[in-house]
Amino acid sequence: MTIFVTGAAGFIGSHLTERLLTAGHSVVALDNLDGQYSPADKRLNIEPFWSNTRFHFVEGDIRDQSLVADLLRRYRCQVVVHLAARTGVRASVYEPAVCLDVNVSGTLSVLEAMRSAQVSRLVMASSSSVYGNSPHLPFREDDAVAQPLSPYAMSKRSAELLAHTYHHLYGFDVACLRFFTVYGPRQRPEMAITRFTRQLLDGEPITLYGSGNTARNYTHVHDTVSGIVQAIQYIKGFNIVNIAGPSSTSLHELVQLLERATGLPARIDWQPEQPGDVYCTQADLRRAADQLHYKPSILLKDGLRDFVAWYQQIHGTVMV
């Protein structure tokens, strides 16, 4: 199978590309290598794939509709996995126009390119951010999601609605996967687990916002990629599906787990709560199990231990 992956040089995209190539698929990888974080890091993410004849990389932007349509036709792609996005809740508060342009207009560009090239199977990254501060835990896919707390959350919900429109009008088979705080090797540098690990190993205080009691359903990238691969296999009709880790963990507990993984004590720099952040995320995974046969396999304590080992190997740090 030939699979078109947007955002293929990023954190999740590079892991997905690796899994697909290992499974014998061909991957047409599109990424604009933007400067939201180091383009050099993104190039390193895909460096191991260059020798694989089934890997085809194109540096380009999802908003270039003619380019996307041409690639879909030229390589006879059968499925699109749309991961490219302007990421980050806090970043979206300060740069909402960029967030909406990439995440909404960019998604529309991908959908129109698919229509033009007659490719009708789409797996798309959404986010747990769409749930906002829902009072209902765990979050279910049929919960009301009409009160986003950030431009990023709104952009992801808008992308879901666009995808549904193309399912309705043109018969697209679509799986919108709501990812819950993905972590693991190659994680973006501004995300909490990478930042906390760096601060611990460098002897710096860890910055925590609010009370430290906010909680997240952390998901190892291995499990996230398994959810995407399952969606590629079982995609039919239009579905929204949570993809998450086994349980939720508070910020306090996360820091304690990282202390154990590094063997180092943490000093905390308390800061006010940040705008746009949700208080708690927790996923109901029954639909994922029923429709995609998805079950997360990596506990947070084990994933953090492996992440710290990877981080030390990449950055040359040594625990004392």
- Whether 320 shows a pLDDT value over 50: the answer reads no
Does 2-183+219-244+283-296 carry CATH code 3.90.580.10? no
pLDDT of residue 319: 44
The predicted-structure confidence for 230-267, as pLDDT tens digits, reads as follows 999 999 999 999 999 999 999 989 999 999 999 999 99
**Residue 55: its H or E element:** strand 55-59
pLDDT, tens digit (0-9, with 9 covering 90-100), for 146-203: 889 999 999 999 999 999 999 999 999 999 999 999 999 999 988 999 999 999 999 9
Q: Are strands 121-127 and 173-179 parallel, antiparallel or unpaired?
A: parallel
Q: Structural domain boundaries of the chain?
A: 2-183+219-244+283-296
Please give the model's pTM, rounded to 2 decimal places: 0.94
CA geometry: angle 167, 62, 144, nearest 5 deg: 45
Tokens of 102: 């990439």
Exactly one of 131, 152, 166, 294 is catalytic; which is it? 152
Strand-pair partners of 269: 207
**Cβ atoms of residues 245 and 218 within 8 Å:** yes
Q: What is the tens place of the pLDDT at every residue in 213-232? A: 889 999 999 999 999 999 99
State CA 18 to chain mean position distance: 15
Burial of residue 47, with CB atoms counted within 10 A of its CB: 0-12 exposed, 13-18 middle, 19 or more buried: exposed
Q: Is the pLDDT of residue 5 over 70?
A: yes
Q: Which of 5-14, 154-163, 271-280 has the lowest mean pLDDT?
A: 271-280
Active site residue 166: no
